Amino acid sequence: MKVNDPATSPSSSKRTVLYVALFLLVAVAGLAYVKWMPYYGKSLTAATTHSIGDSILGDPADSGFSWAGTWSYVISYFNAVWKAAILGILLGSLVQVLIPSNWLMRVLGKTSFGSTAIGGLSSLPGMMCTCCAAPVAAGLRKKNVSVGAALAFWLGNPVLNPAVLIFMTFVLSWKFTLLRVGFGLLLVFGVSYLANRFAPNAVPAEVDRVVEKAEEDDGGPFFARWMKSLGTMALYVLPTYFLSVLVIALVRPWLFPLVADVSPNTVLMIVLFAIGGMLFVIPTAAEIPIIQTFMSAGLGAGPAGALLLTLPAISLPSLLLVARSFPRKVLWFTAGSVVLLGIASGLTGLLVL
């Protein structure tokens, strides 16, 4: 006689549906408040004024080091991202306790291009910056989501943000938008898919056994599991986030050479700005006023094209936030790929922007 599996009993199924609905409710409500509604208003501003505000870096001519300038940047940055950062930590912890592991494993646990594509496409509603998306990507990795799918979700949030693409079209031009989309697709889907090859044991040898163990881990009181997940994540994310942003703010004057003192449109400048953009941390859409301000100060289209991709994609703080979730080789490969694609974007920008 066949014994009913408690994990597939009607009560368990109802609880699963309830948990998933609760996660979707929190995600939709949080994103609507933090992202969707504010971005609707900002889209109207961009369409009418061809601007979304001042550059968070300030005047390029006044980029020398000072403690006041460093602290001012830190304050400005966290004022811009704190709501999204809290939402990212909340969703990153909830995805570990509300979404069934077997669901995630079967949809996003493979190293196929399909899983990578689903991870990238599922990032589009999030519209988060790289640091705010990092806790969610870390949460997905803890649920045995494949490297490619989690990486595509993480990169897709800032790089393929639909709202930012709209702002970009109104403020910079449709050429910038096409350049961002073209190289962004290569990064989010191509690099993420290839990153699976740098992950040891990317595909579990016994998927059924892993899924069974994951289902066992899903057991236990919800609140206790959530507090453990939230506490563990917060204890690592918050100090790492603050200290790494402070370090980046300290070295900010040396990441981007003074435009007035160097040739503004050379291959060397493209390389330097690609590396600086990869390391630097910005809020969502801040690359647009930064590029606008730099170009008004004389920066060429080549370095601007490099910043277009590298500024939002990743940063030193975001790399540190996911350092325990991805293999080191994957993170080095991702950082190198962002720089190389940024250089390619800059060289293309010389021709089309």
| Residue 41 dihedral angles phi and psi, to the nearest 5° | -65, -40
Contact criterion met (CB below 8 Å) for 287 and 352: no
How far is 170 from 345, CA to CA, in rounded Å?
A: 20
Q: In this structure, what token pair is assigned to residue 188? A: 């989010």
For residue 216, the model assigns a pLDDT of 53
For residue 120, the model assigns a pLDDT of 96
Q: How far lies 341's CA from each of 303, 308, 313, in Å? A: 12, 11, 11
The set of residues, in sequence order, having a beta carbon less than 8 Å from that of 34 and lying 6+ positions away, is 83, 84, 87
For the question of whether the overall pTM of this predicted structure is more than 0.75, the answer is yes
pLDDT in tens, 160-189: 999 999 999 999 999 999 999 999 999 999
For residue 7, the model assigns a pLDDT of 46
H helices of 99-161, in order, are 101-108, 113-121, 130-142, 147-159
How far is 216 from 203, CA to CA, in rounded Å?
A: 20
pLDDT in tens, 108-159: 988 899 999 999 999 999 999 999 999 999 999 999 899 999 999 999 999 9
Nearest residue to 132 (alpha-carbon basis) of 286, 329, 303 = 286
The set of residues, in sequence order, having a beta carbon less than 8 Å from that of 63 and lying 6+ positions away, is 57, 252, 253, 256, 258
In this prediction, the residues of the chain whose per-residue pLDDT falls under 70 are 1-12, 60-63, 201-220, 257-263
For residue 5, the model assigns a pLDDT of 45
For residue 217, the model assigns a pLDDT of 55
For residue 39, the model assigns a pLDDT of 95
Give SS3 for 287. helix
For residue 214, the model assigns a pLDDT of 53
